[in-house]
A and B are shown apart, each in its own frame.
Chain A
Amino acid sequence: MTLLLNSCQNIGATLLGFLASIGRVAFFAGQSVGHIFKGPFFVRNLLRQFMDIGYYSLPVVGLTALFTGMVLALQSYTGFSRFNAEGAVAAVVILSITRELAPVLAGLMVAGRVGASIAAEIGTMRVTEQIDALSTLSVNPYKYLIVPRILAGTLMLPILVLIGDLIGVFGGYLVSIHVLDFGVGSYLSQSWDTLETIDVVSGLTKAAVFGFLVSLMGCYHGFNSGRGAQGVGAATTNAVVSSSILILVFNYVITQVFFS
Chain B
Amino acid sequence: MTAKIEMNNVVKSFGSKEVLKGINLSIEKGESLVIIGGSGTGKSVTLKCVLGLIKPDSGSIKIDGQEITTLETHEHDILMRQFGMLFQGGALFDSLPVWENVAFGLIHGQKMDKISARTIALKKIKAVGMDESVADLYPAELSGGMQKRISLARAIATTPDVIFFDEPTTGLDPIMADVINNLIRQCVKDLGATAMTITHDMASARKIADKIAMIHDGQIIWSGTVEEMDNTDNLYIEQFIHGRAEGPITNNSDIVA
* 0/1 string, A98-133, CB within 8 A of B gives 1: 000000000000000000000000000100111011
A136:B80 contact, CB within 8 angstroms: yes
The closest CB in chain A to the CB of B160 belongs to A136
A132:B87 contact, CB within 8 angstroms: yes
* 0/1 string, A40-56, CB within 8 A of B gives 1: 10000000000000000
The closest CB in chain A to the CB of B85 belongs to A136
Closest chain B CB from A45 CB (angstroms): 9
Closest chain B CB from A11 CB (angstroms): 24
A132:B53 contact, CB within 8 angstroms: yes
Write out the residue numbers on chain A whose beta carbons fall within 8 Å of the beta carbon of B87: 129, 132-133
In B63-107, which residues have CB < 8 Å from any A CB?
73, 77-78, 80-81, 83-85, 87-94, 104-105
B105:A138 contact, CB within 8 angstroms: yes
Answer whether residue B17 sits at the interface, using C-beta atoms and an 8 A cutoff.
no
Q: Which of B77, B92, B108 has the most CB of A within 10 A?
A: B108
In B47-73, which residues have CB < 8 Å from any A CB?
48, 51-53, 73
Provide the bound-state CA to CA distance between A40 and B88, in Å.
29
Contact of A40 among B83, B92, B108 (CB under 8 A): B108
A136:B83 contact, CB within 8 angstroms: yes
Provide the bound-state CA to CA distance between A128 and B104, in Å.
17
Contact of A132 among B73, B91, B94, B158 (CB under 8 A): B91
A133:B80 contact, CB within 8 angstroms: no
Write out the residue numbers on chain B whose beta carbons fall within 8 Å of the beta carbon of A133: 85, 87, 91-93
Answer whether residue A3 sits at the interface, using C-beta atoms and an 8 A cutoff.
no
Write out the residue numbers on chain B whose beta carbons fall within 8 Å of the beta carbon of A136: 51, 53, 80, 83-85
Answer whether residue B171 sits at the interface, using C-beta atoms and an 8 A cutoff.
no
Q: Quick one: given A132-B48, A132-B53, are A139 and B108 in contact (CB under 8 Å)?
A: yes
Answer whether residue B248 sits at the interface, using C-beta atoms and an 8 A cutoff.
no
Answer whether residue B174 sits at the interface, using C-beta atoms and an 8 A cutoff.
no
In A15-65, which residues have CB < 8 Å from any B CB?
40
Contact of A138 among B53, B80, B89, B154 (CB under 8 A): B80
A130:B93 contact, CB within 8 angstroms: yes
B92:A139 contact, CB within 8 angstroms: no
Q: Which of A125, A132, A138 has the most CB of B within 10 A?
A: A138
Provide the bound-state CA to CA distance between A31 and B108, in Å.
21
The closest CB in chain B to the CB of A140 belongs to B77
Write out the residue numbers on chain B whose beta carbons fall within 8 Å of the beta carbon of A128: 89-91, 94
Write out the residue numbers on chain B whose beta carbons fall within 8 Å of the beta carbon of A139: 104, 108-109
A138:B51 contact, CB within 8 angstroms: no
Write out the residue numbers on chain B whose beta carbons fall within 8 Å of the beta carbon of A138: 77-78, 80-81, 105, 108-109
In A119-157, which residues have CB < 8 Å from any B CB?
125, 128-130, 132-133, 135-140, 144
Write out the residue numbers on chain A whose beta carbons fall within 8 Å of the beta carbon of B81: 138
Provide the bound-state CA to CA distance between A125 and B51, in Å.
18
Write out the residue numbers on chain A whose beta carbons fall within 8 Å of the beta carbon of B154: 137
Write out the residue numbers on chain B whose beta carbons fall within 8 Å of the beta carbon of A125: 93
Write out the residue numbers on chain A whose beta carbons fall within 8 Å of the beta carbon of B73: 140
Of the A-B pairs whose beta carbons lie under 8 Å apart in the complex, a sample of 23, sorted by A's number, is A128-B89, A128-B91, A128-B94, A129-B87, A129-B88, A130-B93, A132-B48, A132-B53, A132-B87, A132-B91, A133-B85, A133-B91, A135-B80, A136-B83, A137-B108, A138-B80, A138-B81, A138-B105, A138-B109, A139-B108, A139-B109, A140-B73, A144-B108
